[in-house]
Amino acid sequence: MEALSENMAVFLGLNKSKARMDSSMLDSSCKNMTSIELIYTVIRNMVRELRNKTDWELPESYLAYLEKSHQNKTIYQTKTTEETSKLQFLIQQAHDLYAFIKGHADVENFRSFEHLARLLKEQSIPTKDGSVMPVEGAKLTSQILQNPSDP
C-alpha cells in the first residue's frame, strides 16, 4: 500500500511535506479521550439529547453543559492537582444523571443513554453509601468506551 501510495503521489505531483487540514483534524478527533474529557462528553451528549428530544426540565446542575465555555473550564483549565477530585465529581454527576433518567423507556433508547450506561458500568464502582467512585486507570481495559464518537 505504501509503495502504491508513493507511486500515486509522484504521478499526481503531490507535495507530501504538507498535510491537509481536514485530515489532521479527523485524526485528532478520533483520539482516545482522557477520562475527564470522556465523562464530560458523555454527560454533555446526554444533556443535549434530553434538551433537543424531550420537554423534560433538566436539573439546574446540568444546564451548564449546554454552555460552550463550560467545557473549556471543566476539561482544559483543570490543574493537575485537581484531576482526581474533578474525575470523582464528574463520575458522580454521570451517576446522578443516569438515576434521573433510568426507568423512562423513551429516553433509554437514546444513543447517548447507551453510552452513559456503558460508561458507568465499565468505569465506576458503586459504594455502600450510594455514591460511585471512578475505576483506577490501571484497572481499565482497552475494551471500554474510549470515545462516544467511535464507541
104-143 pLDDT, tens digit each: 888 888 999 999 999 999 999 999 998 899 888 778 888 8
Q: What is the pLDDT of residue 33?
A: 61
Per-residue confidence at 31, pLDDT binned at 50, 70, 90? very low
Q: What is the pLDDT of residue 98?
A: 94
Of the two residues 112 and 20, the one the predictor is more confident about is 112
In the chain, what are the domain boundaries? 33-139
96 CB-side CA count, 13 A: 12
Which stretches within the chain are classed as H helix?
2-12, 21-29, 35-53, 60-63, 68-71, 83-101, 105-108, 111-123
Question: What average pLDDT is seen over the chain?
Answer: 83
CA-CA-CA-CA torsion sign (69, 150, 48, 102):
negative
73-85 pLDDT, tens digit each: 887 776 767 677 8
Give the percent of the chain with pLDDT over 90. 36
